[in-house]
Amino acid sequence: MVNVKEKDGAVLLTVNGRRGPVHRSISLEDAEDLLDDLETAIETAKEE
């Protein structure tokens, strides 16, 4: 599971892993790149 929140002008990602949650703060620019990559991956998966 992934949670996404805005915090202090950045994007906070929380991913539940085997050893517990992993928290990462990323810039808005990196978040936009991640969103583009996710959209591409979803489109590719739908085509398969």
pLDDT of residue 48: 87
| Cβ(33)–Cβ(11) below 8 Å | no
Q: Which residues contact 4 (CB under 8 A, 6 or more apart)?
A: 11, 12, 13, 14
Grouped pLDDT means (10 residues each) for the chain, 48 residues: 92 94 95 96 95
pLDDT of residue 6: 94
The pTM assigned to this predicted structure is 0.74
Cα–Cα separations (whole angstroms), residue 43 to 7, 30, 38: 29, 20, 9
Q: Count structural domains, the chain.
A: 1
Backbone angles phi and psi of 12, in degrees to 5: -100, 120
pLDDT of residue 3: 95
Domain residues for the domain of 25 are 2-47
